[in-house]
Chain A
Amino acid sequence: MAKTQVSFNLNGAPVDVLVEPRELLIHVLREQLDQTGSHIGCETSHCGACTVDFNGESVKSCTLFAVQAQGAEVMTVEGLASNGELHPLQQAFMDEHGLQCGYCTPGMLMRSYRFLLENSDPSEIEIREGMSGNLCRCTGYQNIIKSIQKAATVINEAGRDEAKTA
């Protein structure tokens, strides 16, 4: 099958790939672009380990063809830290033991990143519902929720501090 060129922004930098139409975005990210942080845990779009930020929305990259990413803004876990500084979510997951084997973690981080941008002061129930597209087998979710709550607090305080100095 003839390949087609796809260009998009990945973690703030432009990339070009040559793909067959059937190539899934998750495979192109992991193999052509060497960003192996996003993971594959199923083939029925349930587990969420492949979650990335796609044009400002949380999307399962296993359920998108790479050709659909033409012109898109894509962010993966590799792009979460900025200027060498970890995102508050990354720090919070470490502080609150929100990971064990680490396999679901990139998906959890990318989903919670967008979730907190959509809902900056969520209740526990809202967090549970907001994260219901990401499966974990190790943690029982409890510390993941604590991590997200901690990150929300840190982000909101930083926001308040910034507002004060603005």
Chain B
Amino acid sequence: MIPPSFQYHAPGSVDDAVALLSQYGDEAKLLAGGHSLLPMMKLRFAEPEHLVDINNIESLKGIREDNGDIVIGAMTSENALINSALLQEKCPLLPEAARLIADPQVRNRGTIGGDIAHGDPANDHPAIMMALDATFTLVGPSGSRQVAATDFYLGTFYTALEADEILTEIGFAPQSPNTGASYHKLKRKTGDFATAAAAAVVEMSGETCKTARIALTNLGPTALRASDAEAVLAGQVITDDLIDQAAQKAMETCDPAEDLRGDAEYKTHMGGEMTRRAIRTAVKRAKG
């Protein structure tokens, strides 16, 4: 229940935050929403000597349009995503997914950046970001760089983010016309991590699927892009049978850990079922 001692820093700018990370390296952790970090510290699973609180850096918050793309500051809270009129209009997948994360209080503090950067395969945003073909802006001592969401996740709790870098922004194209998106998340109870979840973004042309992007949550060491499943749908007329085939392909992509949410067989089948439902809903929404 009681966290270990640490030195607390509350920089007012990204540069100051990066400087602190460079200085303290592995001994430092970022304090964003804190709702993954604090429970770990209270159970003494994490004992960072330095905490760098980035909640005061205003430039990290907010949702805006920039050159046709949507850009979201990493410190934007889940509730801000849910309440954003811009996102509801131009990328409804994101508020839909945010609503399924944790509970109302946690969503006031939990941030999209924290959810993305933690590297926890159970978090929801990684799969959403893959399905949106999003790009992350990482800022370090030598400047900023862009990494695609699909290249960001290297292993469980292991991402492309270096110890002295901060994720500052997330960018992606708004949902194109004739596109539908959906996130289906199976969980043991509300607020739980996914037993299995699937995001689908499907662009239609009449009854035919032009493009599909499908990504899976908590069904492997990282979020997974189900490209084989996407290939089944691309360019084809959507039928129930085809959706089922795509689901089968998604199941082949799954490599879930056995835990209290289920064994591998159950989770894999649920990955298939969530894929099925996500595609169906996305197609329906695309057709309006």
Contact = CB atoms under 8 A, between A and B. Distances in A.
A–B contact with Cβ pairs below 8 Å: the answer is yes
Interface of A: 1, 4, 20-22, 24, 40, 43-46, 48, 51, 54, 57-60, 63-65, 67-68, 70, 111, 115, 129-133
Interface string B201-216: 0000000000000000
A132 B107 CA distance: 12
Contacts of B2: 22
16 contacts: A1-B5, A21-B5, A21-B8, A21-B51, A22-B6, A43-B39, A44-B39, A44-B43, A51-B105, A60-B105, A63-B35, A63-B39, A64-B109, A65-B8, A132-B103, A133-B106
B11 interface: no
Contacts of A67: 8, 10, 53
Given A43-B39, A43-B42, A45-B39, A58 B105 contact: yes
Contacts of A43: 1, 39, 42-43
B105 A22 contact: no
Contact of B4 (A22, A59, A64): A22
Contacts of A54: 108
Contacts, number: 81
Max count, chain A CB within 10 A of own CB: residue among B6, B34, B38, B55: B38
Given A20-B5, A22-B4, A65-B8, A59 B39 contact: no
B103 A133 contact: yes
B7 A59 contact: no
Interface string B1-32: 11111111010000000000000000000010
Nearest to B51: A21
A68 B55 contact: yes
Give the interface size class of chain B: 20 to 34
B177 interface: no
A74 B274 CA distance: 41
A45 B106 contact: yes
Contacts of B39: 43-45, 63
A67 B5 CA distance: 13
Max count, chain B CB within 10 A of own CB: residue among A24, A63, A133: A63
Contacts of A130: 104
A70 to B, nearest CB: 8
A70 B106 CA distance: 20
Nearest to B33: A63
B8 A48 contact: no
A43 B153 CA distance: 29
A127 to B, nearest CB: 11
B190 A59 contact: no
Given A4-B8, A115-B104, A133-B105, A46 B3 contact: no
B119 to A, nearest CB: 19
A12 B194 CA distance: 40
Given A44-B39, A133-B102, 7 more contacts: A21-B5, A24-B3, A45-B106, A54-B108, A58-B104, A58-B105, A132-B104
A60 B107 CA distance: 10
B277 to A, nearest CB: 20
Contacts of B79: 57
A65 B3 CA distance: 10
Contacts of B106: 45, 60, 63, 133
Q: Ordered nearest first, which 5 A-B pairs have the shortest CB separation?
A: A133-B103, A21-B8, A57-B108, A43-B1, A133-B105
B155 interface: no
Contact of B191 (A4, A63, A65, A133): A133
A68 B53 contact: yes
A43 B3 CA distance: 10
B190 A132 contact: yes
Contacts of A40: 1
